[in-house]
Amino acid sequence: MVEQPPSGYYDYYPTIELERPVVLGGIPSSPYREVGHSLGALAGLPLIDLDHWIEHQAGMSLREALQQKGEPVLRQVATELITKAMVSRPCSLLILGAAAPLVDTVLEQVQKSAALVWLHGPPTAMYWALRQEQQEKGPQPFPFVPFPLERFEQLNPLLQTLRLYQQRADLCLEVFEVQETVNQLFAALANLGGAVVDELRDV
């Protein structure tokens, strides 16, 4: 006879309970998606990837959507989806991803109803990372990044938008090692509107 596990042994529950969404973004060269997915797994939080939502709605990759529909249309879609995400899943982790520059118009809304975490880094490092990625893979799905990228000054429009995120973020981190950043964010969730679930449970 196979021994049955104790009741509730396999019950799944998050280790952190959020009072408001946590919105995670970063400069194009930062590992925002890897950090976001690792943080979601560690904390047991529902995860929304805005890039994936946009691709699902458009029925194509983000790069194809940018090429075929243009930035104005994609900006409207991104704005509608981030608004929907924050209303329909108010206690989730939301990754802005490559679409972050498209939703600068809703920064005020994010500030009012969510905690904004921004992963930043040296602009020159971002420039060289984007150039190398273009050389290896061709055009990439980053708004305001021209192809071919040949001069640092070509990134000025993008940098202006990204500075808004950095200035208004509740928490800014420079990523040196992914797991270290995940641990830092996990420890900071309580200050961003979260509470450890075990502290909320009746003993």
- Token pair 């799944």 is found at 12
Complete domains list, the chain, with CATH: 18-191 (3.40.50.300)
Residue type, 181: T
pLDDT at 198: 56
Q: Look over the chain and give the mean of its residue pLDDT values, rounded to a whole number.
A: 85
Phi then psi for residue 47, to 5 deg, are -120, 130
Least-confidence region, from 46-60, 68-82, 92-106: 92-106
| Mean local confidence (pLDDT), 157-161 | 91
d(CA 172, CA 169): 6
Is the confidence at residue 13, as pLDDT, over 80?
no
- Token pair 């971002």 is found at 126
**119 neighbors 35 (Cβ within 8 angstroms):** yes
For 53, residues 6+ apart whose C-beta sits below 8 A from its C-beta are 81, 85
Is the confidence at residue 10, as pLDDT, over 50?
no
Most confident of 2-11, 31-40, 56-65, 140-149: 31-40
- 87-118: pLDDT as tens digits: 888 789 999 888 778 777 778 878 888 999 99
**93 neighbors 46 (Cβ within 8 angstroms):** yes
pLDDT at 173: 94
